Amino acid sequence: MSKVTVLGGSGIVGSIAAETLASSGVFSDITLADINVAAAKKLVRKIKGTKLSAVEVDAESPQSIRKAIGGSAVVLNCVGPFYKYGPTILKAVIEARTNYVDVCDDFDATEKLLAMDDKAKKSGVSALIGMGSSPGVANVLVRFCADSLFDQVEVVDIYHAHGGEKGEGAAVVKHRIHSMKIPVPMFLDGKFTTVNLFEDSGKALEEETEFKDVGTYNVYGYPHPETITLPKYLKGIKRVTNLGLVLPPAYAELIKGMVRLGITNEKPVGVQGQKVIPLEFAVAHILSQRERLMKEAGINQPMGCLKIVVKGYKDGGKNTYIFSMSSKGQGMGEGTGIPAALGTILMATGKITEKGVFPPEVCVNPLDLLGLAKTKVKTVVGRGFPIAIEHINKDGKAQKVNLFS
């Protein structure tokens, strides 16, 4: 039994992770650290079964971070946006010589975190980054394919669509805006490259995709870390893409429109004698329209789907496996928070022993994760970790399979 600290513990992702950790019976103490300590204290009163506490933390202050995580065996970081806070937090955790898990889905932040590998090794720290849905579960399933289903994996196409959560924070919207403004990394024809969402290079990758139980939508390039980590750690891959959409589509188009119009800069501008930061206005406006757009689209509950298409060779023949994890009634909080909690449990129970900074495909044993999901997730959501799998063999015959019974 040990102590875990959840940074950002009262947020949409952190709160689900905290509930999962509390129900696991693995930890004797759970600390929820958040800038909104009142919300953290409210959640502490709600969660049953484990000794919980709440503390205030400033994610921009290394001293505040080190104080908040004192005595922890492992830290789970759910503070976003990661391009802003991720490197500062990991550096402070490494200096505290504490093991670490996060849900970082910003590729530029991922590169900065991976650059701390030597520091983590010298400090004897294990740091698992990007342990959510995508990245996270997606990486682990691709590794399972490489280890068990293929002689050689050649193509990995990752798709995701989610939305409808009861609430959405400014950090999530800022992450989406950031993702639309920067070059989007892809691995195409055996080479790393980048595309621009609003230019021909990005539009060429857009496609209509069917998501199990959720619907069929047009998806666009996302700058998620899988496209830079999977080719690095799983040799021989020729293509890795990541395409997604936030629901409803009109909400995604509103965010894209604000970015396209240039109303997302961080330099203040004068408006009737007042200084206004365009980004803060854009985020406030986007959030003010969210409820209306969801109502018009008929979305009244969280929903989401992660779809992973893996192609390669087995015994000389081409094979394809399609993994779909879908739900209605669950959204980003569950899709990200539950895998993050499972990764944290694996770290705390000695299933992850490598020292350094690494993505999920390097250190998470797929069967460990899926086995843990069967025994721990039911206590939170009332059922297991549902994965629908379709196999298309070398003759083009498709059939549903159950690989994890």
Tell me the per-residue pLDDT of 98-127, one tens digit each, with 9 for 90 and over. Answer: 999 999 999 999 999 999 999 999 999 999
pLDDT, residue 140, reads: 97
Per-residue pLDDT reduced to its tens digit, 291-325: 999 999 999 998 999 999 999 999 999 999 999 99
Q: Could you give the CA distance from residue 235 to residue 269 in angstroms, rounded to a whole number?
A: 48
Class of domain 2-132+332-381: alpha beta
The pLDDT of residue 130 is above 60 = yes
Residues of each domain in the chain carrying CATH 3.30.360.10: 137-330
Percentage of the residues of the chain whose pLDDT score is greater than 70: 96
Average pLDDT across the chain, whole number: 93
CATH of domain 137-330: 3.30.360.10
pLDDT, residue 27, reads: 95
pLDDT, residue 382, reads: 41
pLDDT, residue 391, reads: 97
Q: What is the pTM of this model?
A: 0.92
Q: Could you give the CA distance from residue 138 to residue 359 in angstroms, rounded to a whole number?
A: 11
Per-residue pLDDT reduced to its tens digit, 177-197: 999 999 999 999 999 999 999
What lies within 8 Å, CB to CB, of 179 at 6+ separation is: 106, 222, 223
The pLDDT of residue 331 is above 90 = no
The pLDDT of residue 32 is above 60 = yes
Residues of each domain in the chain carrying CATH 3.40.50.720: 2-132+332-381
- Describe the crossing of helices 107-114 and 82-95 by its angle, rounded to 10 degrees: 20
The pLDDT of residue 381 is above 60 = no
